[in-house]
Amino acid sequence: MAKIIRLTESQLIKVIKKIIKEDEPVGMVDKGEERLKELIEEARDILEMECGYDIHDINLMSEQDIVDVLFDEGYHDIASEMEELLNKEGF
């Protein structure tokens, strides 16, 4: 007999993203993660050097917080690329 379980929409999305991530070739995921790490470092430099944010405050931000701040500060290109990778990698 099959067991019925209930999932919220966000739980279902996480399950689907995990399944998709498992189906991706390893090299594709690794390249995305590498690029995301590069973009995060670049974003932290931008926020510190160009926008005047304190490095301690930047280090407390999540990746999504950094994306939001970049959009607010007008750095749409890097923010869009980071957001796309965050969604693709399932973070």
Q: What is the pLDDT of residues 32-70, one digit of tens each?
A: 888 889 999 999 999 999 999 999 999 999 999 999 999
Cβ-based neighbours of 7, under 8 Å, separated by 6 or more: 15
Q: How far apart are CA 63 and CA 83, in angstroms?
A: 9
31: pLDDT confidence band, cut at 50, 70 and 90? confident
Q: Which two tokens stand for residue 35?
A: 């690029």
pLDDT at 91: 58
Amino acid, single-letter form, for residue 27: G
Task: List, as own/partner pairs, every contact residues 11-16 make where C-beta atoms lie below 8 angstroms and the sequence separation is at least 24, other chains included.
Answer: 14/90
Q: How far apart are CA 4 and CA 49, in angstroms?
A: 53
Helix ranges (H only) for 24-89 are 26-45, 55-60, 63-73, 76-89
If we measure between CA atoms, which residue out of 16, 79, 52 comes closest to residue 24? Answer: 16
pLDDT at 25: 58
Query: Is the model more confident about 6 or about 25?
Result: 6
